[in-house]
Structure 1
Amino acid sequence: MSIITIKDLHKVYDGTQVEVHAVNGVTLNIEEGEFSALVGPSGSGKTTLMNMLGGLDRPTSGQVMINGTDLSQLKDSELIDFRLHHIGFVFQSYNLIPVLTALENVEFIMHLQGIPSAERYARAKELLEAVGLGDRLNSRPGQLSGGQQQRVAVARALASKPRYVLADEPTANLDSHSTENLLDIMEELNRKENITFVFSTHDARVVKKAHRVIVLEDGKVISDEVRKKEVVNGPNE
């Protein structure tokens, strides 16, 4: 079942002299439970496409449908609410709140959702334990390594129980060990909980792990390779 449907998507920016077609007629379906990577050189349109998939930017034309909801038809307030309840984000720069502990950072999105404090605490603790940080609940971002901060970011992205997670260059600032650790965690969550992951990446290690690799160039899809996905301990087993 398709969770994301992209139809003839365009994003045009007005340059000083010429228009820039950052995304130029992309049509794609992302199936539920996929572990996909968007790859391509700088300027290929990866980040722009990711921003439109997450409702952070609006297309010039075309559609982004999430479970049948056309994001372009939502008002700004509706779009904020949709992102809050349906989409998880993992950013290259982590985007953790410096004055909050790891636990409080993960709890924060649930606080915005109005989830009671006891439930917030229990889920945040469970998620941090799942990413191997059960002993760092009370550490602030400045007390954590880059790999640990990114694992907090992954836990935070999952806190809202999203249908899918967008990860924009999530391994860019990590060493090899931290990268492999993080990818293993996300792949396990994908397989066990059927969470859909879409990565934007230059990292060959992410590409190697991906079950589908979508190559962009000049705002267009030039290659789309689907690899075999092995589901273990899936939700229906």
Structure 2
Amino acid sequence: MKETVIDAHNLSKIYDENTIPVYALNKVHLHISRGEFTAIKGPSGSGKTTLLNMIGGLDIPSEGFVEINGTNITELRGNKLIDFRLNNIGFVFQSYNLIPVLTAKENIEFIMLLQKRPKQETEQRVLELLKQIGLEDKINKRPRELSGGQQQRVAVARALAPKPQFILADEPTANLDSVSAENLLDMMLKLNEEENMTFVFSTHDQRVINRARRVITLEDGKMVSDTAPTTIVHEKIEINKLL
């Protein structure tokens, strides 16, 4: 039996509760096991980002709760919640969110420095990740000196650096051209296969959906399907190809 990493119970997010309630998310149950590569899809306004934000502790549900490895993060507040996110959850956003004055190396090691990891461990991990994402020659480049695809690779490496329980990726390919998106997805799938890293995506992108081993569909805040595709469309691309 696979280890459950994310356990979301009866999640709802309700706005205008005192007038006419509007459900951004409506009684969603979700269980994610370690090593999954899962896509959450649906039209704009379906609740994808809201669900991801609640799983990641960035938003508080109106009803229900989320457990991460048995810890009810819905009950955590302030520094306890910040510390839990810092040590357990990796985030990848469509806008990259890199720190412009820092180099690729410094951006990747940023979370580990906040965790006060030993310097030798931090530097070794960063160099390993730069090699894995094919950017070891860009170690001292700042974000403005990198392409969009390269910046998103650095953002993924930053999320992976402290070895979190899982990665939440909110529309990570939205700002990338086709080749960059394909290469980024192949890189993440490779990391999933080789390191058993758990990825959960919110996405409109069919390329993400084609690679997913599980696809969850939301409509109007409700989960309407949860399927494991019988065929995964995946064309191997060399991840070290320059973006």
TM exceeding 0.5: yes
Q: Which amino acid aligns with 1:195?
A: M
Query: In structure 2, the residue corresponding to 1:93 is in which secondary structure?
Result: coil
The corresponding residue for 1:206 is 208
Q: Which moved more, 1:68-77 or 1:85-94?
A: 68-77
Alignment pair present for 1:11 and 2:13: yes
Q: Per-residue deviation at 1:127?
A: 0.5
Q: Which amino acid aligns with 1:150?
A: Q
Q: Describe the superposition over 1:20-64 as per-residue Cα deviations: whole angstroms up to 9, x where unpaired.
A: 210100011111110000000000000100000100001111011
Q: Distance in 1 between matches of 2:91 and 2:121?
A: 21
Q: Per-residue deviation at 1:73?
A: 1.2
Alignment pair present for 1:123 and 2:143: no
The corresponding residue for 2:85 is 83
TM-score, scaled to structure 2: 0.91
The corresponding residue for 1:38 is 40
Q: Per-residue deviation at 1:119?
A: 2.0
The corresponding residue for 1:235 is none
2:156 to 141, 154, 157: 154
Q: Structure 1 residues 36 and 177 mapped into 2: Cα distance closer, same or farther (>3 Å)?
A: same
Q: Which amino acid aligns with 2:88?
A: H
Q: Distance in 1 between matches of 2:31 and 2:118?
A: 36
Q: Distance in 2 between matches of 1:59 and 1:126?
A: 37
Q: Per-residue deviation at 1:118?
A: 2.4
TM-score, scaled to structure 1: 0.94
Q: Which moved more, 1:32-41 or 1:67-76?
A: 67-76
The corresponding residue for 1:51 is 53
Q: Distance in 2 between matches of 1:19 and 1:161?
A: 39
The corresponding residue for 1:170 is 172
The corresponding residue for 1:97 is 99
Query: In structure 2, the residue corresponding to 1:135 is in which secondary structure?
Result: helix
Q: Distance in 2 between matches of 1:18 and 1:146?
A: 42
Q: Distance in 1 between matches of 2:178 and 2:68?
A: 33
The corresponding residue for 2:182 is 180
Q: Per-residue deviation at 1:14?
A: 2.0
Q: Per-residue deviation at 1:126?
A: 1.1
Q: Which amino acid aligns with 2:38?
A: S
The corresponding residue for 1:189 is 191
Q: Per-residue deviation at 1:117?
A: 2.1
- Cα RMSD of the aligned pairs, angstroms, is 1.5
Query: In structure 1, the residue corresponding to 2:120 is in which secondary structure?
Result: helix
Query: In structure 1, the residue corresponding to 2:191 is in which secondary structure?
Result: helix
Q: Distance in 2 between matches of 1:2 and 1:163?
A: 11
Q: Which amino acid aligns with 1:13?
A: Y
Aligned residues: 230
Q: Which amino acid aligns with 2:8?
A: I
Q: Which amino acid aligns with 1:54?
A: G
Q: Distance in 2 between matches of 1:156 and 1:14?
A: 37
Q: Distance in 2 between matches of 1:205 and 1:109?
A: 29
